[in-house]
């Protein structure tokens, strides 16, 4: 019996195929991280991996490094203290030096073990080192397993906005190991649930209803519920990426539902106050409000959806944040075209629409409603 059979017969396998040299193999299951040395192809005279890991995951990172060494790989480990501030070009510069010191070559593999910050930054490291080397996404948070750890968007922040410096660089492998979520703080669970609910809101009303019905089980990190929900979300994400890898046709753009206002809130509060998924929940609440005020979405439906989002506990929006400050940040949103702001709104549950030229007064009224609701928590 091999290791995979010993761990689980319920490993989900999915594939993203974007061409002969641009595809991803995705595996989802419990306890699968240790199988990576068996799965990753040894296709170099110097089989080599560099593991860039969140220092909080030192035990898992060291165990994975040992597993690679036991399989005859040359394995280097770089552990970094992680916060959103790590997504900065200046912070990455020493890591390029460490890759050189480790004799990292074009056939080496860079492994990114951590949450969204590690995936974004280490993925960009892989995209830019020697004009691009292969990498593996090993997301350790719920949000990263259902969203940011998939799809090949890598990057770092700029003072003007989030993820403004980056590259599309698909990971060759993605392992979503639910065992990594066992020690996840409650706020990080809520953050991931926010992105899960996004898929239901934009793609599948039945899935949204299922998530709400199993909300307590998911918050309690029930393995069966988690693996099922993660698999469904990964499938949604892969379909969007396969149809529109680089956000050019608008298919993938709808995945940014809730991110317009969400990113503005994150950048206004120094990327640290809110978890990304928490900010997205607030952004989705605002997008639903705009949808209703625009006449796209029935008010009764909007209120029901907003009530559902409000079941997730969030920190209040600081009183210092004003609608003027949020509006000023929206001008730098990546989805803006000239002076026109593109918004992903809803016509109904599971029916998104991209809208340009929404009246500024309407957007600002919705932002004011958001502040009124969430500054008084």
DSSP 64-79: HHHHHHHTT-EEEEEE
The answer on 204 and 117 residing in a single domain is no
Residue 130's pLDDT band (cuts 50, 70, 90) = very high
Task: Assess if residue 12 is contained within a domain.
Answer: yes
- Residue 196 to residue 127: CA distance in whole angstroms: 27
Number of domains in the chain: 2
Nearest 5°: phi and psi at 148?
Answer: -70, -25
The answer on 215 and 342 residing in a single domain is yes
Task: Assess if residue 190 is contained within a domain.
Answer: no
The answer on 25 and 174 residing in a single domain is yes
pLDDT at 205 over 80: yes
The answer on 205 and 161 residing in a single domain is no
Residue 339's pLDDT band (cuts 50, 70, 90) = low
The pLDDT of residue 344:
96
The answer on 357 and 293 residing in a single domain is yes
The answer on 134 and 21 residing in a single domain is yes
Query: Cβ(36)–Cβ(94) under 8 Å?
Result: no
Residues facing 135 on adjacent strands: 110
Task: Assess if residue 225 is contained within a domain.
Answer: no
Task: Assess if residue 235 is contained within a domain.
Answer: no
The pLDDT of residue 136:
98
Q: Taking all residues of the chain, what is their mean pLDDT, rounded to a whole number?
A: 92
The pLDDT of residue 335:
55
Do the bridges between strand 173-177 and strand 134-139 make them parallel or antiparallel, or are there none, so unpaired?
Answer: parallel
The pLDDT of residue 5:
41
Whole-model pTM: value is 0.90
pLDDT at 360 over 70: yes
The pLDDT of residue 4:
41
CATH of the domain at 114: 3.40.50.1970
The answer on 60 and 163 residing in a single domain is yes
CATH of the domain at 300: 1.20.1090.10
The residue segments making up the domain with residue 305 are 200-220+257-374
Task: Assess if residue 121 is contained within a domain.
Answer: yes
pLDDT digits (tens, 9 = 90+) for 65-97: 999 999 999 999 999 988 878 899 999 999 999
pLDDT at 236 over 70: yes
pLDDT at 161 over 80: no
H, E, C per residue of 241-289: HHHCCCCCCCCHHHHHCCHHHHHHHHHHCCCCCCCHHHHHHHHHHHHHH
The pLDDT of residue 333:
62
The answer on 170 and 52 residing in a single domain is yes
The answer on 106 and 44 residing in a single domain is yes
- Residue 273 to residue 31: CA distance in whole angstroms: 31
Task: Assess if residue 361 is contained within a domain.
Answer: yes
The pLDDT of residue 8:
45
pLDDT digits (tens, 9 = 90+) for 96-112: 999 999 999 999 999 99
pLDDT digits (tens, 9 = 90+) for 278-321: 999 999 999 999 999 999 999 999 999 999 999 999 999 999 99
The pLDDT of residue 82:
86
Task: Assess if residue 334 is contained within a domain.
Answer: yes
pLDDT at 271 over 70: no
The pLDDT of residue 337:
57
Task: Assess if residue 250 is contained within a domain.
Answer: no
pLDDT at 7 over 50: no
Residue 160's pLDDT band (cuts 50, 70, 90) = confident
pLDDT at 48 over 60: yes
Which of residues 154, 181, 208 is at a domain's end? 181
Pick the range with the lowest mean pLDDT from 24-28, 248-252, 294-298, 363-367: 248-252
How would you class 290 by CB atoms within 10 Å of its CB: exposed for 0-12, middle for 13-18, buried for 19 or more?
buried
Interacting residues of 326 by C-beta distance below 8 A, sequence separation 6+: 261, 264, 265, 268, 367
The answer on 357 and 286 residing in a single domain is yes
How large is the angle between the packed helices 323-330 and 259-268, nearest 10 degrees?
Answer: 110
The answer on 139 and 33 residing in a single domain is yes
Which of residues 152, 181, 210 is at a domain's end? 181
- Residue 165 to residue 152: CA distance in whole angstroms: 14
The answer on 158 and 73 residing in a single domain is yes
- Residue 315 to residue 297: CA distance in whole angstroms: 27
pLDDT at 46 over 70: yes
């Amino acid at each position: 019996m091999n290791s995979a059979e010993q761990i689980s017969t319920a490993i989900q396998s999915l594939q993203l195929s974007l061409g002969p040299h641009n595809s991803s193999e995705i595996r989802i299951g419990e306890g699968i991280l240790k199988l990576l040395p068996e799965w990753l192809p040894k296709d170099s005279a110097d089989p080599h991996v560099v593991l860039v890991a969140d220092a909080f995951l030192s035990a898992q990172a060291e165990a994975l490094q040992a597993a690679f060494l036991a399989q005859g790989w040359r394995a280097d480990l770089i552990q970094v203290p992680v916060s959103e501030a790590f997504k900065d070009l200046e912070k990455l510069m020493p890591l390029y030096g460490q890759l050189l010191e480790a004799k990292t070559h074009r056939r080496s593999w860079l492994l990114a073990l951590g949450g969204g910050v590690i995936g974004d930054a280490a993925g960009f490291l892989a995209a830019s080192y020697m004009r691009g080397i292969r990498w593996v996404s090993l997301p350790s948070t719920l949000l990263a397993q259902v969203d940011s750890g998939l799809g090949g968007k890598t990057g770092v922040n700029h003072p003007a906005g989030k993820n403004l410096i980056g590259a599309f660089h698909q990971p060759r492998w993605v392992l979503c190991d639910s065992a990594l979520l066992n020690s996840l703080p409650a706020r990080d669970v809520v953050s991931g649930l926010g992105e899960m609910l996004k898929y239901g809101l934009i793609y599948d009303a039945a899935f949204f209803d299922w998530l709400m019905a199993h909300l307590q089980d998911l918050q309690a990190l029930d393995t069966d519920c988690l693996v099922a929900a993660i698999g469904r979300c990964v499938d949604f994400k892969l379909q969007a990426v396969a149809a529109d890898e680089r956000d050019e046709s608008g298919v993938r753009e709808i995945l940014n539902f809730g991110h317009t206002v969400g990113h503005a809130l994150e950048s206004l509060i120094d990327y640290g106050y809110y978890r990304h998924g928490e900010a997205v929940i607030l952004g989705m609440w605002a997008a639903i409000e705009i949808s209703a005020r625009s006449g796209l979405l029935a008010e009764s439906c909007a209120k029901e959806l907003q009530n559902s989002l409000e079941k997730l506990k969030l920190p209040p929006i600081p009183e210092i944040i004003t609608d003027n400050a949020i509006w000023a940040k929206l001008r730098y949103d990546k989805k803006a075209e000239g002076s026109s702001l593109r918004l992903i709104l809803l016509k109904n549950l599971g029916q998104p629409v991209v809208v340009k030229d929404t009246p500024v007064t309407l957007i600002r009224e919705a932002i004011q409603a958001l502040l009124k609701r969430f500054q008084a928590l």
